[in-house]
Amino acid sequence: LLIAALCAAPSFAFAQAAPAPAASPAADAPVPPSDAPAVPAAVPVEESPADAVAPAPTLSDVSAKLDGLEEAYSGTKATVDSLSKIKVSGYIQGRLELHEFSKNGVDSTNRPTVFDKFYVRRGRLKVTYAGQNAEYMLQIDATGSGVVLKDAEASFVDTWTPFNFKLTAGQFKVPFGYEVLQSSGDREMPERSRFIRQFFPNERDRGLRLQATRDWFRFSAAVVNGNFIQDSIYPDSDPNGAKDVIGRVGGDFDWLVVGLSGSYGKAMTTTLGRAATVSGSGSNITVTPAVLTDYKAYNRTRVGADVQAYLDVPSVGGLALKGEFAWQNDNNVALPGRPASDCNDISAMGWYVAAIQNIGDYVGVVARLDQFIYNNADRTGCTASLMATPTDRKTTTLGGGFLLYGSANIKFSAIGEKVFGYKVETDPAKYGTFDDRITFQMQAKF
Amino acid sequence: MKLIRLLIAATLLAVSGPALAGNITVKGSDTMVILGQRWAEDYMKKHPETSIQVTGGGSGTGISALINGTTDVCQASRAMKPAEKEKLRERYSSPGVEIPVAKDGLSVYVNISNPLNELTMDQVKQIFTGKVQNWKELGGPDGKIIPYSRENSSGTYVFFKEHVLQNADFSARAQNMPGTAAVVNAVGKEKNSIGYGGAAYSKGIKIIKIKKDAGSPAIAPDKTTVQDGSYALSRPLFFYLRNKPAGDIKAFVDYVLSAEGQGLVEKVGYFPMK
């Protein structure tokens, strides 16, 4: 092809140099059949005497030009090879949610009580680069609420040992369990299980992570700040200097994946105070006293286990059975001026089981049952006034629905969720979190 | 209610079977494309009601097509990577099905005029990483080595990089060719070149015997050495499917694994499983 291009090149140059024939009748002539003798492309050469005497290129001329082209190709190839290491991907989830507690109007504090809405749940854009012993990953999420940095990973990749070590610094999903690490673009249900959302809000933290894999063995551990990104009070750094350790060790046997996870660190809960306020006039003055900001520090321990089994139902399709469990214990520790009390200890746990049955290549049916238990009300000798939050909540959610895959790039889902147990119908701040809902979603990804 | 009815209808449609019964698409490894085409041609002669379309593009391309649902069967000259398996599981709730269908001895080719007959694995690595750049450093004639490689979507590229280069990067001097046939063609024309690819592509070039290390015997890829694994670069060739094969796909896979299908493996130049 290169030689043909080179041979054709002088003809092309000659044709360029010659004056363009004005409305040549030949231009309208029928194209000869392909088996007819080819008309030499360099016919216009006759119009240029200077070119007509030019010697035909020799083999060495062609060879030299070929070498030149190869050199140019090598440069282009190096550039293309380099660019091919950059991968851009992303997905957008457009969603309609219909809520049980939604109703027209506003509440007593003028907050709307309409929660049925269309919105952009996720607008992800991810860029990765895999170079020599290095990987770069940046992911942002652009929605109606703004643009948020989700992942920013700088990784050093081992290519010398059989363990494929990967050391990552930056902001990443914490290595715990299965659902935290599963991509929201792959997940069948609209959101993660309630206990996962409570334990790992936004799933991401900043720190240093080490991963290793060999055959079926999987290991991932990280040292992180200990407060998750987008924290409402401490968005940028942990309020305590201690770092948290978190990790998962597991096995991947193709059809069966199992893992054990754990974490240990320090946590602080902060209840923001407010200044005193005075309202009313004359003899009807009401003074609302100031409330001091309250801090409680904890040693936080978490353990968890996860299992996923992938089976094949003949003539139907793949069946995935997934389950996960996690337990958290917050042990209150003293702060200056605030002695520790067992009554402030909090334990919580959660679990889910899920089944996803693919029916053919384009349809899926999903069902998930999850439960979140938050308990700090059973301490012997503690009274409600001594407890951090005197509640004993058990919230169970049963969800399920249909998935429809239009192609490799588009997915539709219709999922209903029914909440049992703890439900809030009066606190607008919790509307949409503890009510029944139906979610329709269209996801496009590239 | 309408939406639910629509979803149920779609479900029933999906369960009722493939929309294009009798059509099978096979995509992936360039190393296997000739083998796949021979299987398909022979099978279609015996089963004219079935149409099988075989295309290459590389093992990576085939695996992506399997995950994206644009092929029924993926041909691969390397095993699926854990990340690829995860993608398949996430999308289809299935671990996928791996079926070894033939064996190959990944071969190192030199020009037929090259006097060298054998190289150690380390020497091959040194050549393709650019540490050795002249044949005379290996006891050959004075000539600058021109290495030919494959594109990174190729399973042969991945296998070679993992097993010979031990994951080191290829030299920038290595020229990537679009297929094994192109590598063989280039090596056949350029006397100082070296390339690698499937054993079936051996016309007009010389296949080098490989030594695991300096003290090991030099072994050529043949039926015995590939099947017993004594050839250092023996590798299985795979079919990958999303689910356990059924219907037309099962019939085709059964044919490929039959004595008849395995007989074609040898005719093409690869080695049967047994």
The string of DSSP codes covering A227-294 is S-TT-SS-SSS-SSSPPEEEEEEEEE-SSEEEEEEEEEEEEEEEE--B--EEE--GGG-EEE--B--E
For residue A26, give the H/E element and its range. helix A25-28
Phi, psi of B168 (to 5 degrees): -70, 160
Contact (CB<8Å) B89/A310: yes
pLDDT for A46? 45
Distance from CA of B267 to the nearest CA of A (A): 32
Task: Give the CB-side neighbour count of residue B188, counting CA atoms within 13 A.
Answer: 11
Query: Does residue B82 belong to the interface with chain A, where contact is any CB pair within 8 Å?
Result: yes
- Using DSSP's 3-state secondary structure scheme, residue B237 falls into strand
3-state SS, one letter per residue, for A131-161: ECCEEEEEEEEEECCEEEEEEEEEEEECCCC
Say if residues A348 and A373 touch (Cβ distance below 8 Å).
Answer: yes
Question: Does residue B263 carry a pLDDT above 90?
Answer: yes
Question: Does residue A236 carry a pLDDT above 70?
Answer: yes
State the count of interchain CB pairs (< 8 A) between A and B. 93
Residue A421 pLDDT grade (very low, low, confident, very high; cuts 50, 70, 90): confident
Of the candidates A354, A380, A374, A376, which has an alpha carbon nearest to the alpha carbon of residue A366? A354
Say if residues B31 and B77 touch (Cβ distance below 8 Å).
Answer: yes
Of A159, A357, A361, the CB nearest to B167: A159
pLDDT for A424? 63
Of B4, B95, B243, the CB nearest to A255: B95
The region of weakest confidence among A35-39, A97-101, A132-136, B56-60 is A35-39
Question: Does residue A97 carry a pLDDT above 80?
Answer: yes
Contact (CB<8Å) B10/A363: yes
Contact (CB<8Å) A363/B92: no
Give contacts of A363 with chain B, Cβ < 8 Å. 7, 10-11, 14
Task: Give the CB-side neighbour count of residue A388, counting CA atoms within 13 A.
Answer: 24
Q: What is the mean pLDDT of residues B133-140?
A: 93
Q: What is the mean pLDDT of residues B24-52?
A: 95
Q: Report pLDDT digits (tens) over A103-137.
A: 888 877 787 888 899 999 999 999 999 888 899 99
Query: Does residue B113 belong to the interface with chain A, where contact is any CB pair within 8 Å?
Result: no
The rounded percent of chain B whose pLDDT value lies above 90 is: 74
Q: What is the mean pLDDT of residues A377-404?
A: 70
pLDDT for A69? 82
Interface of A with B in 46-105 (CB under 8 A): 74, 77-78, 81, 84
Task: Describe the strand order of the beta sheet including B73-76 as a list of residue ranges.
Answer: B51-55, B23-28, B73-76, B234-241, B97-105
pLDDT for A432? 62
Tell me the sheet residues that pair with A319. A311, A357
Residue A139 pLDDT grade (very low, low, confident, very high; cuts 50, 70, 90): very high
Contact (CB<8Å) A318/B68: no
**Crossing angle of helices A59-84/A2-17, nearest 10°?**
110
Whole-angstrom distance, CA of residue A179 vs CA of residue A183 = 8
Residue A42 pLDDT grade (very low, low, confident, very high; cuts 50, 70, 90): very low
Residue A380 pLDDT grade (very low, low, confident, very high; cuts 50, 70, 90): low
pTM given for the model: 0.80
The chain-wide mean pLDDT, for chain A, equals 82
Question: Does residue A32 carry a pLDDT above 70?
Answer: no
Of B14, B82, B91, the CB nearest to A363: B14
Question: Does residue A45 carry a pLDDT above 50?
Answer: no
pLDDT for A425? 60
ipTM value = 0.80
Q: What is the mean pLDDT of residues B151-161?
A: 89
Q: What is the mean pLDDT of residues A13-29?
A: 40
pLDDT for A427? 61
End-to-end Cα, chain A, rounded Å: 34
Of the candidates A350, A398, A415, which has an alpha carbon nearest to the alpha carbon of residue A188? A415
The region of weakest confidence among A46-60, A68-82, A170-184 is A46-60
pLDDT for A156? 97
Contact (CB<8Å) A361/B14: yes
Whole-angstrom distance, CA of residue B102 vs CA of residue B79 = 13
Say if residues A136 and A128 touch (Cβ distance below 8 Å).
Answer: yes
Say if residues B262 and B274 touch (Cβ distance below 8 Å).
Answer: yes
Question: Does residue A391 carry a pLDDT above 70?
Answer: no
Q: Report pLDDT digits (tens) over A245-302.
A: 999 999 999 999 999 999 999 988 887 777 888 877 777 788 887 877 888 889 999 9
Q: What is the mean pLDDT of residues B61-86?
A: 94
Please return the burial class of A307, using the count of CB atoms within 10 Å of its CB with bins 0-12, 13-18 and 19+.
middle
Q: Where are the beta strands (DSSP E) in A376-432?
A: 392-405, 410-421
Residue B21 pLDDT grade (very low, low, confident, very high; cuts 50, 70, 90): low
Question: Does residue A50 carry a pLDDT above 70?
Answer: no
The region of weakest confidence among A165-174, A276-285, A341-350, B13-22 is B13-22
Of A132, A186, A363, the CB nearest to B90: A186
Q: Report pLDDT digits (tens) over B233-258.
A: 999 999 999 999 999 999 999 999 99
Distances (CA, A) of A402 to A18, A426, A430: 67, 31, 27
Say if residues A394 and A420 touch (Cβ distance below 8 Å).
Answer: no
Give contacts of B70 with chain A, Cβ < 8 Å. 408
Of the candidates B271, B82, B229, B255, which has an alpha carbon nearest to the alpha carbon of residue A217? B82
- Indicate which of A183, A361, A413, A446 best probes the interface with B, i.e. most B CBs within 10 Å of its own CB: A361
Whole-angstrom distance, CA of residue B38 vs CA of residue B31 = 13
pLDDT for A14? 39
Whole-angstrom distance, CA of residue A54 vs CA of residue B199 = 48
Question: Does residue A238 carry a pLDDT above 80?
Answer: no
Whole-angstrom distance, CA of residue B52 vs CA of residue B249 = 10
The region of weakest confidence among A224-228, A321-325, B70-74, B126-130 is A224-228
pLDDT for A271? 78
Give contacts of A96 with chain B, Cβ < 8 Å. none
3-state SS, one letter per residue, for B24-83: EEEEECCCCHHHHHHHHHHHHHHCCCCEEEEECCCHHHHHHHHHHCCCCEEEECCCCCHH
Residue A379 pLDDT grade (very low, low, confident, very high; cuts 50, 70, 90): low
Interface of B with A in 139-158 (CB under 8 A): 152
AA identity, residue A308: Q
Query: Does residue B244 belong to the interface with chain A, where contact is any CB pair within 8 Å?
Result: yes
- Using DSSP's 3-state secondary structure scheme, residue A28 falls into helix
Q: What is the mean pLDDT of residues A38-62?
A: 59
The region of weakest confidence among A86-95, A131-140, B166-175, B190-199 is B166-175
The region of weakest confidence among A6-10, A320-324, B5-9, B156-160 is A6-10
Query: Does residue A161 belong to the interface with chain B, where contact is any CB pair within 8 Å?
Result: no
Residues for chain B: how many in total? 274
pLDDT for A40? 42
Say if residues B78 and B159 touch (Cβ distance below 8 Å).
Answer: yes
Say if residues A301 and A286 touch (Cβ distance below 8 Å).
Answer: no
Question: Does residue A147 carry a pLDDT above 80?
Answer: yes
Say if residues A192 and A397 touch (Cβ distance below 8 Å).
Answer: no
Whole-angstrom distance, CA of residue A93 vs CA of residue A376 = 37
- Using DSSP's 3-state secondary structure scheme, residue A300 falls into strand
Distance from CA of B235 to the nearest CA of A (A): 17
Determine the distance from the C-alpha atom of residue B141 to the mean position of all C-alpha atoms in its chain, rounded to a whole number. Answer: 32
Distance from CA of A304 to the nearest CA of B (A): 21
The two structure tokens encoding residue A340:
């520790």
Of B4, B10, B243, the CB nearest to A318: B243
